[in-house]
Amino acid sequence: MADYKPLSRKAMAERIARDIPEGWYVNLGIGIPTLVADAIPTEKEIFLHSENGVLGFGPAPDPEHIDPWLINAGKQHVTLRPGGSFFHHADSFAMIRGGHLDLCILGAFEVSAGGDIANWATSAQDSAPAVGGAMDLAAGARRVWVATEHTTREGAPKLVETCSYPLTAPAVVSRIYTNLAVLDVEDNRFVVREMVPGLSRDALQAMTAAPVFFEEKEYA
Amino acid sequence: MINKQVGTTAEALSGIADGSVVMIGGFGSVGQPDALIEALIEQGARDLTVVANNAGAGRVGLAKLLDAGRVRRIICSYPRSSGSVVFEDLFRAGLLELEIVPQGTLAERIRAAGAGIAGFYTPTTVGTILAKGKETREFSGRLYVLEQALGADVALIQAWRTDRIGNCVYRETGRNFNAVMATAARTTIVQTCGMTEVGGLDPEAIVTPGIFVHRVVHIPDGEAAAPAHLKKEEV
């Protein structure tokens, strides 16, 4: 095996947080995306949105200052930053569906080279899947980024030519942050912008079930 | 004098018929009207259709109502969550019908019912299995799916402060589905953490005007869920 170290979930969240410009309104999905909330420096004004009716929430509170009325969509306790606001569910999804969010970061079971995302059901026969707000977010946010491990625990690629799981939305993902690389979805291709040190192009390709192209680029 | 306040949860829930469609506010446990759900279990109505974001957790609240075999059908976005054992058992045994609705579509279907809108086109679910069998139409080059309004016979709501007219304010993320569901039922029943005098709520801050509310019951126990620094605070 080549000598490289995949990013931890925390390091992935920190990597993503660096790329979110000040002033954006951002929704974080459940899983690795949630960790991004704790990785945004307090001096950077980014407004985090949660489906259950809060804009401008901040990191988890310390245990003595938990406010039971203040949770995020993952039902975890959060805090409110100055300038934060509360609203009801229909307004919350007006923000989502109406294209007001600059960015939504979602976890995924699979992402295709065309930007399709599957993140809610593991088969069409999954009789009681839980969709939550994922389809509204995927269809409504101005940009959809995915944060995921590059492969499943069993080593199966999650970046694929065509999704085999039921779609959350077609052709919406523009960027993917994995524990191994940062990739853009461009013209129905995965374009690698960045890899963890020590990882070879061949090794990354072997863990990706669609051709990957390499065009390094610094994000502003 | 208008007085929508009743003394007990039993009075608040009187007259709910078998076969009713019942909306239950809340998101997870926040803003969930637990005392009204308990009272609905006591009240005894059967063959219910429940509209809620989640399908209950543990053996209390909505899960207990399901466990008592009183719900025929549940319409929700996120039935399977940590501790949703009652739902999963009933569903697997074929004893509960399920309609999965994306969360934003659920909120908008409820809003539409409250606003007298029969249906609407949404981009959510386009290209997915949840759009199957639904009309899809193109507007300005983009595809949308037709969804229909979802109203109810009864809505069970938790508010933070309420007056006898039924004006409500909510607490932080406790507003969630409550404020939307309050508009969409023929009978809206509010469990409130605190009663205030008429005129005691800032008219600029009232989220649910009393026109949407039919019965109010004061459950000061709800205060237990409030952080210590808020318990003594007036609105």
**Domain boundaries of chain A, sorted by first residue:** 9-214
> Domain spans of chain B?
18-100+151-223
**Confidence label for B82 from pLDDT (cuts 50, 70 and 90):** confident
Pick the CATH number of B18-100+151-223 from 3.30.420.40, 3.90.1300.10, 3.40.1080.10, 3.40.367.20: 3.40.1080.10
In sequence order, what are the residues at sequence separation of 6 or more whose Cβ sits closer than 8 angstroms to the Cβ of residue B223?
A: B193, B194, B231
What is the tens place of the pLDDT at every residue in A33-48? 999 998 999 899 999 9
Dihedral, CA of residue B221, residue B223, residue B228 and residue B234, to nearest 10: -140
Question: Of B174, B235, B179, which Cα lies nearest the Cα of B212?
Answer: B179
At residue A2, the pLDDT reads 61
Q: With both helix axes pointing from N to C terminus, report the angle between A89-97 and B103-115 in degrees, rounded to the nearest 10.
A: 120
Of A51, A139, A166, the CB nearest to B103: A51
Percent pLDDT > 70 in chain B is 94
- pLDDT over threshold 90, residue B24: yes
- Interface pTM, i.e. ipTM: 0.94
Query: For A30, phi and psi rounded to 5 degrees?
Result: -80, 145
- pLDDT over threshold 70, residue A54: yes
What is the tens place of the pLDDT at every residue in B83-130? 889 999 999 999 999 999 999 999 999 999 999 999 999 999 999 999
- pLDDT over threshold 70, residue B234: no
- pLDDT over threshold 60, residue B229: no
Mean pLDDT over the full length of chain B: 93
Task: Could you please state the CATH topology (level 3) that the domain comprising A9-214 is classified under.
Answer: Glutaconate Coenzyme A-transferase (3.40.1080)
A70 and B CB contact within 8 Å: yes
- pLDDT over threshold 60, residue A178: yes
What is the tens place of the pLDDT at every residue in A116-134? 999 998 876 666 688 999 9
Q: B98: which chain A residues are within 8 Å (Cβ-Cβ)?
A: 127-128
B172 and A CB contact within 8 Å: yes
B110 and A CB contact within 8 Å: yes
Q: B207: which chain A residues are within 8 Å (Cβ-Cβ)?
A: 88
The amino acid at residue B61 is G
